[in-house]
Amino acid sequence: MTESKRERAITMRRDGATYQQICDRLNVSMGMLCGWIREAGLTSRLRTTAEDRARAVELRKQGRTYAEIERATGVPKSTLSNHLKDIPLTAEHAAVIAEKQRRGAARAGATLRARRIAGEARTLAASAAEIGEVTDRELFIAGVLLYWAEGTKSKPWSRGHHVTFVNSDPGMVRLFLRWLELVDVGRDRLVLTVQIHERADIDHAHRFWSQIAGVPVELFRRPTLKRHNPRTTRRNIGDAYVGCLRIDVAKSTELYLRIAGWYEGILTIAP
């Protein structure tokens, strides 16, 4: 039935019928008809009829946008701009058209954002699937590199061999804790401290990091608070802001030296 209507619509358009006439006669939507006409390549080949022009002028006087008139008559907007440029609009109609254009731009922007987000989600899912199962050796190497990138390291001006890891990313924290288990560091050697702005919900942050680390809140050290600076505008506010979790490993001098050695070993693949 739909195919028969499509063929009839194309024939009617070739014979000079307007879009609205075809929609009324065949009881089809304007969007469907426009698609059929574009597929048939008729839009640019048909000459605008006097009836089309009269209908376009009438609709413009009613305050319709070019896009609405194009859907109703099938006349391209480039042609409408020539036919209708001298048609005066009332202030009310101009305001209505401006508001329609604003809403249309907002809808178009929302559609583009939704497509972008969906595309990003597909890329992320496909990339995650490429990793597959992670072996202990792969986790071991990943953990060494993670610590050397994010953990505290000895400096010439501040000598120290102590394992300290600070991060605001829950995934990174989970990975580091799993890596510590792999290198035989028990949870009893961990000292956990929340570092957070003094105006944040500290109790909420403690509950959050307690769940991530699998350690009761009672075992956390007193939080380290960042003092408020009234001259700055903070963006890290609300329930999503939970500060950072600092993980100190007790009696970790030997572990630190081993991490440094492991890192040097990994570097041999890229001399």
Mean pLDDT of 150-173: 89
Q: 7-21 pLDDT, tens per residue? A: 888 888 877 777 777
pLDDT at 45 over 50: no
* Domain spanning 136-267, CATH architecture: 2-Layer Sandwich (3.30)
- CATH 3.30.1330 in the chain is located at 136-267
pLDDT for residue 217? 93
pLDDT at 206 over 80: yes
Burial class (CB in 10 A: 0-12, 13-18, 19+), 36: buried
Residue 43's pLDDT band, with cuts at 50, 70 and 90, is low
pLDDT for residue 58? 81
Burial class (CB in 10 A: 0-12, 13-18, 19+), 69: buried
pLDDT for residue 147? 96
pLDDT for residue 142? 96
pLDDT at 2 over 70: no
β pairing state of 244-249 and 164-167: antiparallel
Q: Tell which residue, 195, 196, 217, has the closest CA to residue 207.
A: 217
Q: Which of 33-42, 59-68, 206-215 has the highest mean pLDDT?
A: 206-215
pLDDT at 264 over 50: yes
pLDDT for residue 44? 47
Per-chain mean pLDDT for the chain: 86
Of 35-44, 136-145, 167-176, the range with the lowest mean pLDDT is: 35-44
Mean pLDDT of 149-175: 89
Residue 104's pLDDT band, with cuts at 50, 70 and 90, is confident
Of 8-22, 165-179, 181-195, 243-257, the range with the lowest mean pLDDT is: 8-22
pLDDT for residue 271? 64
pLDDT for residue 36? 85
Higher-pLDDT residue of 2 and 54 is 54
Higher-pLDDT residue of 151 and 38 is 151
Q: 107-129 pLDDT, tens per residue? A: 889 988 999 999 999 999 999 99
Q: Tell which residue, 238, 205, 237, 208, has the closest CA to residue 224.
A: 205
Q: Which of 155-164, 180-189, 220-229 has the highest mean pLDDT?
A: 180-189
pLDDT at 174 over 90: yes
